[in-house]
Amino acid sequence: MARYTRTINRGWRFYRGDAPDAWFRGYDEASSPQPWREVTLPHDWAVSEPFSREHSSGGGYLPGGAGWYRGRFTLPEACRGKKVWLVFDGVYQNARVWANSYYLGKWPYGYTTFTWDISHAARFGDDDNQISVSVNHPHTADSRWFTGSGITRDVHVLVKDPVYFDQYGIFFTTPEVSPQRASVQVESALVNETDAPVEALVRHTLRDPDGRAVLELEGRCSLAAGQRASLILSGELAQPRLWAPGHPCLYTLESALLLDGTLSDDERQWVGIRSIRFDPDEGFLLNGERLTLQGVCVHHDAGTLGAAVHPSVWRRRLETLQRAGCNAIRMSHNPHAPALYDLCDRLGLLVIDEAFDEWEGPKNKWWQGHNVYPPKLYGYYEDFPAWHERDLSLLVRRDRNHPSVILWSIGNEIDYPNDPYGHPAFASTTGNNDANKPAAERRYSPDKPNAQRLVALAQQLKAIVQRWDTTRPVTAAVAYPEISNLTGYCDVLDVVGYNYKEQWYRQDHALYPRRPLLGSENGSHYAAWTAVRDNPFIAGQFLWTGIDYLGEARGWPIHGSSAGLLTTAGFEKAGYWFRRSLWLPEPVAHLVTARVEPEDSPLARSQPTALRRWARRAQLGRSWNYAAGELVEVICYTNCPEATLWLNGRVVASARLADFPEEGCLSWRVPWEPGILRVTATPAEGDPQSAGASDQLETTGPAVALLAETWGHEPLRADGEDVAQILLRVVDAAGRPVPGASPLVAVLVEGPAELLALDNGDLADNTLPCAAQRRALDGRLAVYLRSTGEAGAITVYCHAQGALQPATIRLQAVAVPDPAAPCL
């Protein structure tokens, strides 16, 4: 191995505030007004501090501010004379970086993976390297959602010989794909930083999912001193194993660069063999077969963990979404951590990779509650003119080898009327976030920047994308196609994403018959799905959102958005089960209940039945615990044609799904009595493969105990970074989950692990995010632990307030080898 690479996340020192001299290698931390403390990266200081109304509602009422990080690492003596880089997967925001007192530079955008060459400053052997990072997030109202603050993603050190593959310089493509054969092309960008010309031999070996070498490509390239060069090699593979949801077959591409038979650089990465096509009539085709994109949008935080999220937390979330039929993720509205794309590759999830939420002009940033004027106007637009080309180029180059990535999105709702771009065709908003807006904001103003400008900007951004990748289409999430079709903005895009504009699908398909269309952001209501189901020219939909997230809060004390199918803790909500009935082919039946809304209530008076049900989703739960004789609304999410409802062994109701064309689910009103409520759903007539589906709810007894289980089957890695997830439930004497239970739970950890956070998914719970105690919500609580770096036994004690029996769970932290490859 010619390269040395490792993650340097442990042992960093953190100072909350400004320490102007902390860039200096010899800086005395004791001279700071406040103490420095040790942290492990990724680190988000926002979730170590209290929620406060003084902070922005858009940012989840959590702080920004300033902070400094100082980290040390050593390099083997054998690395002397080689090239050395630091790679930051993401720092929010305005990062400035020093290595051994040498200033390397700054990076404003908090979501870009950026790299600094520290070859001139690096030290070797016993002489360690001091890295200093200043983070400045002065305006928490600089985004419409929670961003986090700090070095929120991994940091790596990378060492290579001076003749090497450029970073992200190996580009794997499959121009032609069929079940019988696949053409393969590998483009390599080579760099020679020596003062002499070299003749390089490049060899690419492709290994199938079983590790067998199935293709080898080899070629030579001459590099002049101090110059770069590119080499393209092609070949053909018989009987390829195609990557797709359900069977995400990953090949390994091993690339080697040799000089006179000696290895100078090497790289290994996963790749996939698949073809993609967006068609104006057939929608999306993967490997030549039509596939409806059943997607969700996600933001980058994980509730009480903030923006510092370990891949295992994402894996649990993504696998849960997949069980509902989800096959696609939209990375909203910025580049996400590299590990998340790796997970999508491995799990078989398709990805829309999105770059920006704003371009030249500032969007409204709500800081006193949603649509409460006046807004703040900080944001990426201040950096866009100088930085967009670098940020977008790095996104495309970093992610273009991921088989999961199928679309490049250059922007989200950039065309939102008067936010900030205006157009004479805009008279007034028609349901797009217009609540509370002053009259001046609901009509055209010539003083606003002209929406026509978006055409030139989109062309510029598309050209940047296509400089690095022409194998995937360019899209954007369009907020107002009524105007963007007039300006020509939509004409620039290869695939046009519509946000909440299902009503225009058929008309615009007729008006623009050569244009592929996609629901890039959609509500979770039934009509938004039937608009996709009944129109095969629509490639699919992406729900807003897959998971609840911090920020974009309506107002104190709510500190996040409850739009998700899952809570921030990763627990399923009622809408999750509804989605399963729409997205899964196998029979589904699932019961949820709620108290009947009085007909004279404000909610009942103001909304028709279908909309009322969606407004009440937060009240729906898995409960059959009510008062005697109380009228209960019972909802069954099913994809079977009809179902029968049983209460304590007798039939109380039946219904056909066809009788609920607006809701897409069955509904009854049933007087409550204790016992067992059961539904049996009947399959379609003539379907011999299906036995239908059933579900039941039981009246539970009082809460008596906590029940704990560990998510996942892999042992906790004793690397100081791995995260374990313990899922707590409140149960009765029969071991049944008790709905509505909310005891205060305290957690104590013994052994080589530390408690990171507890999360109940309650967006109104403003307990300190990193607190060691928190109430359960609806009888559930997630516990996050991180290994400390030592192997050994771990015991986790979970105690609930009151007379509930505590839960104890034991884990084992297992030693792992050093992942670094030595310099040779």
Q: Where in the chain are the domains?
A: 4-159, 163-271, 292-581, 588-691, 705-814
| pLDDT band, very low/low/confident/very high, at 611 (cuts 50, 70, 90) | very low
Q: What is the model's pLDDT at position 444?
A: 86
3-class SS of residue 604:
helix
What is the four-CA torsion angle of 477, 480, 482, 483, rounded to 10 degrees?
-100
**What's the CATH fold of domain 588-691?**
Immunoglobulin-like (2.60.40)
| pLDDT band, very low/low/confident/very high, at 605 (cuts 50, 70, 90) | very low
Q: Using alpha carbons, select from 778, 333, 330, 303 the residue that is nearest to residue 570.
A: 303
Q: In CATH, what number does 292-581 get?
A: 3.20.20.80
Both structure tokens of 149: 């603050």
Instruction: Specify which residues 262 forms β-bridges with.
Output: 259
- Is 163-271 assigned to CATH 2.60.40.10? yes
Question: What distances in angstroms separate CA 293 from CA 92, 296, 329, 788, 803, one per listed residue?
Answer: 31, 9, 9, 40, 48
Instruction: Specify which residues 560 forms β-bridges with.
Output: 550
pTM over 0.85: yes
Q: What is the model's pLDDT at position 359?
A: 98
Fold match between domain 4-159 and domain 588-691 = no
Q: Between 2.40.30.10, 3.40.50.40, 2.30.40.10, 2.60.40.10, what CATH number should domain 705-814 receive?
A: 2.60.40.10
| pLDDT band, very low/low/confident/very high, at 443 (cuts 50, 70, 90) | confident
pLDDT digits (tens, 9 = 90+) for 513-539: 999 999 999 999 999 999 999 999 999
Question: Is residue 94 pLDDT above 90, yes or no?
Answer: yes
Question: Is residue 354 pLDDT above 60, yes or no?
Answer: yes
CA atoms of 20 and 823, how far apart (whole Å): 35
Q: Is 448 exposed, middle or buried (0-12, 13-18, 19+ CB in 10 A)?
A: middle
Residues 44, 541 contacting (CB under 8 angstroms): no
Q: Which residue has the higher pLDDT, 370 or 317?
A: 317
Q: What is the mean pLDDT of the chain?
A: 94
Q: Is 52 exposed, middle or buried (0-12, 13-18, 19+ CB in 10 A)?
A: exposed
Q: What is the model's pLDDT at position 547?
A: 99
Helices (H), 432-588: 453-468, 481-487, 489-492, 505-511, 526-533, 574-583
Phi and psi based region of residue 130 (left: phi greater than 0; alpha: psi -120 to 50; beta: remaining)? beta
Tell me how many degrees the CA angle 158-162-166 measures, rounded to the nearest 5. Answer: 65
- List CB contacts of 289: < 8 A, sequence separation 6 or more: none
- List CB contacts of 800: < 8 A, sequence separation 6 or more: 706, 730, 743, 744, 745, 746, 776, 806
| pLDDT band, very low/low/confident/very high, at 622 (cuts 50, 70, 90) | very high
CA atoms of 56 and 60, how far apart (whole Å): 6
H or E, element range at 297 = strand 293-298
Question: Is residue 763 pLDDT above 80, yes or no?
Answer: yes
| pLDDT band, very low/low/confident/very high, at 688 (cuts 50, 70, 90) | low
Question: Is residue 822 pLDDT above 60, yes or no?
Answer: no
pLDDT digits (tens, 9 = 90+) for 55-77: 999 999 999 999 999 999 999 99
Q: In CATH, what number does 4-159 get?
A: 2.60.120.260
Mean pLDDT within 458-468: 99
Instruction: Specify which residues 232 forms β-bridges with.
Output: 187
Residues 65, 17 contacting (CB under 8 angstroms): yes
Number of Cβ within 10 Å of residue 428's Cβ equals 12
| pLDDT band, very low/low/confident/very high, at 440 (cuts 50, 70, 90) | confident
Question: Is residue 820 pLDDT above 90, yes or no?
Answer: no
Of all residues in the chain, what percent carry a pLDDT higher than 70? 95
CA diameter of the chain:
90
Question: Is residue 610 pLDDT above 80, yes or no?
Answer: no
Number of Cβ within 10 Å of residue 346's Cβ equals 14
Question: Is residue 603 pLDDT above 60, yes or no?
Answer: no
